[in-house]
Amino acid sequence: MIDIHIHFRQIQLNKDEVSLATGANARSALLPEFLQRLAMKPSYSAFQTISVHESVIKAMITKYSEQVVYQPLHEIRHWFAYASGAFIEPGYPPLFYSRGKGKKVSPNKSAVAGIGEGVAGFVAQRLYKCRKLARPNHDYPDIVMVGGGKTFLVEAKSTISQGGTAIMATLEQEITRVVTYLNACSGLDKRPVEGLLVGTEIVSQDKYDVYLNEVNI
């Protein structure tokens, strides 16, 4: 079983803040001010924990991952076995070839991204009762979903836990991009559009921390 701990934050932006975000997306000098405004919004709160079988996450990764990734959950288990030091024990690869000068051993990036996309789709389905309309190829956002007369633009980010708050910093930076695109779609589309920015931090093989940002303009 995998425990998905969901932390939720709702971000409602006014016209000024949308302009600031749009500007910051093109001009980095505006970013600190936007981030300052963002810091004044409500922060994440623990929302819900969902325990789900690996097999369900596997199906969601097949459905939502942009890359063809083979057995991503096995990859992550393999990484955590390595990170736990187990590879020094008998029965594991002997390690003499993996690390060269200045080369850092890292988890499989495609597996991490695939899990992030699968979890984002899963969380959106379960919490918003929405359904996948499109999974754009090499495009933005990661998933387009619909439900309750609304369009949900879902963007996924993910990382392996390294004891910091890297995923939260990544999400903060990404919000300007979400807002910029949300603003464009609001002008083009008849239906209301909402942004879901979903960050997954893979804490261990059976625990994910999910930071869900619901963005409205």
Partner 1 sequence: MKLEMLSDHEFVLNSVVQMLEEKGANSAEEFDSTIDFAITELTKIHLRNQAQFYDRRFQEGKDVFERAINEVAESIQERIPQFKLNKRYRMSLQELRYPASEIFELTSELWESKETNRIGSRISLPPEGNNSYEIIEVGLTGYIEGLLARPVIGSAILDLDKLRAQNFSIKGDWFPFEVSIDELIFTIDDDGTIFVSTENFPERLMSEAKAQLASLVASMC
Which residues make up the interface to partner 1 (CB under 8 A)?
52-56, 58-60, 62-63, 71, 122, 125-126, 129, 131-139, 144, 146, 151, 184-185, 188-191, 193
How many Å apart are CA 86 and CA 93, to the nearest integer?
10
Minimum CB distance to partner 1 smaller for 33 or for 189? 189
Minimum CB distance to partner 1 smaller for 142 or for 201? 142
116, 61 contact by CB (below 8 A): no
The single-letter code of the amino acid at 31 is: L
Query: Contacts for 38-42 with beta carbons within 8 Å, 24 or more apart?
Result: 38/11, 38/172, 38/175, 41/9, 41/11, 41/12, 42/9, 42/10
Instruction: Quote the least distance from Cβ 129 to partner 1, whole Å.
Output: 5
Instruction: Quote the least distance from Cβ 194 to partner 1, whole Å.
Output: 12
How many Å apart are CA 101 and CA 64, to the nearest integer?
36
Instruction: Quote the least distance from Cβ 133 to partner 1, whole Å.
Output: 5
Instruction: Quote the least distance from Cβ 132 to partner 1, whole Å.
Output: 8
Instruction: Quote the least distance from Cβ 54 to partner 1, whole Å.
Output: 8
Minimum CB distance to partner 1 smaller for 41 or for 129? 129
What is the edge-to-edge ordering of all strands in the sheet holding 193-204?
45-52, 2-12, 207-216, 193-204, 150-160, 143-147, 131-134
136, 144 contact by CB (below 8 A): yes
Minimum CB distance to partner 1 smaller for 28 or for 55? 55
Instruction: Quote the least distance from Cβ 198 to partner 1, whole Å.
Output: 16
143, 134 contact by CB (below 8 A): yes
Paired with 6 in beta bridges are: 48, 210
Q: How far is CA 133 from CA 28, 125, 129, 168, 177, in A?
A: 33, 12, 13, 27, 21
Minimum CB distance to partner 1 smaller for 116 or for 141? 141
Q: Is 177 helix (H, G, I), strand (E, B) or coil?
A: helix
Minimum CB distance to partner 1 smaller for 48 or for 170? 48
